[in-house]
Structure 1
Amino acid sequence: MAVRIDLTLDCADARLLAEFWKTALGYVDEPPPAPFTTREEWLAHLGVPEDDSADDGAWLCDPDGVGPGLSILKVPEPKTAKNRLHLDIRVSGHGGPEERWERIRAESERLVAAGGKVLVEVDGHHVVMADPEGNEFCVAATSP
C-alpha cells in the first residue's frame, strides 16, 4: 500500500513563497486541523513557543485533494546549495513537440510574472526555474 506524502519547503519569508506556490500550483491555504479554527490555536496546542508566529509558516493544499500538501516554514539559516529534491510542474495538453514547447514557455512566463526566475531553458524539453527564494523547480510537459 502506498503512503501519502506532504512536502515541506524551508524559507526566509513564508508569506512570499506561499503566494508564489499558490499561483504556481493552483493550491489554496489549508485549513487548520479540526477542532481548531485558526493556525494560532493549533500552534498553541502543539506547544510552539510564543515567539513563533503562524506567519512563520504556510500550509497549502490541492483544492481537489489529489496532490501532496505543501508546508512552507521559516528557518533561520539561508539556502546554501542546489536542491537535492525539486518539483516538476507539468503542463498538460496534446499536440506535437512545438505545441508542447509553446505551453512550457507560456507557463514559465506566467511564473516569471509571479516572481519566479528562469535559470536554464533546455530547448524543446523543459525550463529550469527558481522561486523567489532561489528554490529550483522545472516546468515540463506531461508525457505525450
Structure 2
Amino acid sequence: MAVAIDLTLYCENARLVAEFWKTALGYVDDIPATEHAASEESLARFDLPAGGAEDDGVFLRDPEGNGPRFSVLRVPERKTAQNRLHIDVRVPGDGTPADRWERIRTEAARLVRAGGTILEAFDDHILMADPEGNEFRVTAFPA
C-alpha cells in the first residue's frame, strides 16, 4: 500500500507564498490561518513559537483530495541555497512536442502574472521561482 505525503515549504511571508502556490496548483485553504494561530497543538506540531500570528502558517489542500496537503510556514531565516526538493507543475494534454511547449509557455506566463519569476528555459521545461525564490519546474505530461 502506498503512503500519503504532505509537503511543507518554509518562507518569510507565508501568506504571500501560499497565495502564489494556491494559484499555481489550484489548491484551496485547508485550515484557516486564524484557526491555526489559535491552536497551540498545531503550533507545537510544526515547531512554531507559541502565540503565533495569523500569518505564521497557511495550510492548503487539493480540492478534489487527490494531491498532497501543502503547508506554508513562516521561519525567521532567509533561503540561502538551492532547494533540496523542488515541485514540478505539470500541464496536461496530448499533442506534438510543439503543442506541449506552447502549454508550458502559457502556464509559465500565468505564473509570472501570479508573482513567479522565470529563471531559465530548457528543451522540455521552464525553471521558475516563487515570490521568495523557491525553485520549481513547469513541464508537460506525458513527457
Larger radius of gyration: 1
Structure 2 counterpart of 1:16, one-letter code: L
* Number of equivalences: 137
Gap regions ≥5 residues in structure 1: none
Alignment of 1:104-123 (within 5 A): 104-123=104-123
TM-score, normalised with respect to structure 1: 0.89
Which of 31, 40, 47 in structure 2 is aligned with 1:44?
40
Query: How many angstroms apart in 2 are the aligned matches of 1:72 and 1:45?
Result: 17
Q: Do 2:14 and 2:72's aligned partners in 1 also have CA atoms closer than 8 Å?
A: yes
Q: CA deviation at 1:2?
A: 1.3
Query: How many angstroms apart in 1 are the aligned matches of 2:55 and 2:76?
Result: 14
TM-score, normalised with respect to structure 2: 0.90
Structure 2 counterpart of 1:136, one-letter code: E
Q: Do 2:37 and 2:56's aligned partners in 1 also have CA atoms closer than 8 Å?
A: no
- The CA RMSD over aligned residues, in Å, is 1.6
Alignment of 1:1-144 (within 5 A): 1-31=1-31, 38-41=35-38, 43-46=39-42, 49-50=50-51, 52-123=52-123, 125-143=124-142
Structure 1 counterpart of 2:37, one-letter code: E
The percentage of aligned residue pairs carrying the same residue is 58
